[in-house]
Amino acid sequence: MKRKEDISASDLTVLDNFKIEEVEVSTGLDLPPEYRENLPDQVLPRICAYRDNFENVSSGSPIFEENSLSDNLIIVPKELSNLTSIRFNGIEFSVAGYSSSPEVFVVPIDAYTDNFQADTISYLCFDPLSDKEVKEAESILKNRFPAAAVLSPNNAKDMDKKEDSVAFIKVSMLYVTSLFSFLFLFRCMIDQSQHELTIYALLGAKKITIMKLLLWEVIVLSVSAFLIALAIHMIFYQSFFSQINIMDNIEYSVGDYAFVLLTTLLLSVCAAVPFAYTCCRSTVAQMKRNYNT
């Protein structure tokens, strides 16, 4: 919404024909200094309520006990676990529990409608709506909340598609640049290996032995390059690499690093295949002429 508005129980049922699972209402909260100083500086506290006490979303695990929904109860961030009560808008709320999020305060829906306005109302459906149903729901919401900005699933899909396209282009450019750089360096390594393998051939080494030497050289160099890159990435991740990521809060697992290693080995072997094929097809005399050139 463009501004905070008073809400009533009827506002939370306007979309019930679309099989609503839960309705969340929330608004930004101006905390008194004595509460705010216990929370991280960057958080934006919000007070929330749920029309059906979250029973439809998490069966058997409602937020508040059924017999206490009419009481002035509140769930506060765990950072305020020293409190037994808290006062907002001149009303004292008894602390009934703690949330893991430092910005979320939750009260029963009746306490919310009696004491707070809303700047966001979210209607959660059991099943995805069709395009026709989305348009009908948007029309109902615009008539009921003319000053509000309605964000439908279609809006979210369009935003996701746009963000995904931009991210895909960035990743593709980074991948292609890295691939060409890798293959260029690997080509230089192959050129150096050609001289060594020609000498082995002149000394009577069998082609199968030469192929094994080439394979081991590829594996050793690829693994060494990976380990050096891994060390640099882990040491400078927080100070440098996390700042240039295309997305925030990326965490790398052992599986991610293993995938990079396997990809590096695969690309290295693929890049070595043309040279290995040439060695197999060439005679010792041809390899010698190549060496002399």
Q: Pairing relation of β-strands 85-88 and 46-50?
A: unpaired
Residue 50: the pLDDT is: 93
Residue 160: the pLDDT is: 59
- Under 8 Å between Cβ of 16 and 35: no
Both structure tokens of 199: 């000498």
Per DSSP, 239 falls in state I
Q: Pairing relation of β-strands 46-50 and 20-28?
A: antiparallel
Q: 170-201 in b/e burial notation, b at 16+ Cβ within 10 A?
A: eeeeeeeeeeeebeeebeebbeebbeebbebb
Residue at 85: amino acid letter: S
User: Residues 266-293: pLDDT tens digits?
Assistant: 877 877 777 777 766 766 666 666 556 5
Instruction: Supply the pTM of this predicted model.
Output: 0.54
Instruction: Indicate the burial class of 12 (C-beta count within 10 angstroms; 0-12, 13-18, 19 or more).
Output: buried
User: What are the start-end ranges of the H helices in 29-152?
Assistant: 33-36, 109-115, 131-144
| Contact partners, residue 151, CB within 8 Å, separation at least 6 | none
Task: Put the strands of the sheet holding 73-77 in their side by side order.
Answer: 85-88, 91-99, 73-77, 104-106, 46-50, 20-28, 120-125
Which stretches in the chain have pLDDT values below 50?
A: none
How far apart, in Å, do the first and last CA atoms of the chain sit?
75
Residue 85: the pLDDT is: 92
Residue 209: the pLDDT is: 82
